[in-house]
Structure 1
Amino acid sequence: MKLIPKIPFSYPEIALLVLRVSVGTVFVYHGSLKLFGPGGVNGFANVLGQLGVPSPLINAWLATLAEFLGGMALIFGVYARWAALPLIFVMLVAILTVTGSKGFDIQNNGYEYNFILIAALAAIFLTRSEKWHIKQ
């Protein structure tokens, strides 16, 4: 006789929900800092300009909206799989322009943090982790 009742979901689905919501929260946080924090998107554009990124204001808006809206999409499971792709691109650009030259170690301002976010986003993309989502 089984004592554990049948549940309508699997533990991997719950694990992917936890991953999606936690990674989404990180991106909403960073996107909201750029949108609403001191300096805002213009301050971020100035940083991008100093790094030699072309069209810094346009790219600042693209990165900020990708982070904020993409993070929201991950949290709520609305096209989360496709929201992961621009976020991966944002993290790759961060590695190429800021953290890559400093090595892997986060204690030296390296790309360790960007790397783990890319891995989490790749897992979200590859698993289609939208089972628990807002109905579209």
Structure 2
Amino acid sequence: MNSLIRKFEAGMNHPDAAKLILRVSFGLMFLLHGIHKIYDGTAFIQGMFVDIGLPGFFAYAVYLGEVIAPIMIVFGLFTRFAATAMIGTSIVVIGLMHRDNFFSLNEYGAWAVEEIGTYLFASITILLLGSGKYALRPD
């Protein structure tokens, strides 16, 4: 049985493929949020910045964090820099939209900040792992 498990584990050892799957899947999912901003604009986000006393034009940084950075991650271009931009975007989203429920659970018992938290931790993981060899600019 142990030899069968070892063979299975050896056959499943593909860290560069795992990096590719992580980069592409989370990059595309984050990009969908950016595409929404392209079509609907940033007025909602500008209002949130103004509400906390910051200039509304800060909202335009969302295009870097939710459009440019995810595209860079999907293609493996300056992956660590792009992951840092996505981390910053995730932290800003938490600060703007979830500062009141950061330590809360939703009605299903999950962390109220689970969605953006998942993007944050995936971005941190991508930052630490890098692009892998299946990238336009491998690390």
Same fold, TM-score > 0.5, yes or no? yes
State the TM-score, normalizing by the size of structure 1.
Answer: 0.78
> Gaps spanning 5+ residues in structure 1: where?
1-9
Is residue 17 from structure 1 mapped to residue 16 from structure 2 by the alignment? no
Change (3 A) 1:53 1:123: farther
For the residues of structure 2 that align with 1:53 and 1:120, how far apart are their CA atoms? 30
State the match for 1:83 in structure 2.
82
RMSD: 2.4
Residues 21-41 of structure 1: per-residue CA shift (max 9 Å, x gap): 01111221111111123xx12
Residues 63-100 of structure 1: per-residue CA shift (max 9 Å, x gap): 22221000100111111111010110111121122113
Between the aligned residues of both structures, percent identity stands at 24
Q: Match for 1:32: what amino acid?
A: I
State the TM-score, normalizing by the size of structure 2.
Answer: 0.76
Q: Which moved more, 1:13-22 or 1:109-118?
A: 109-118
Q: Would you say the 8 A contact 2:94–2:113 is kept in 1?
A: yes
State the match for 1:65 in structure 2.
64
Q: Which moved more, 1:96-105 or 1:123-132?
A: 96-105
State the match for 1:115 in structure 2.
117
Q: Which moved more, 1:100-109 or 1:13-22?
A: 100-109
* Matched length: 124
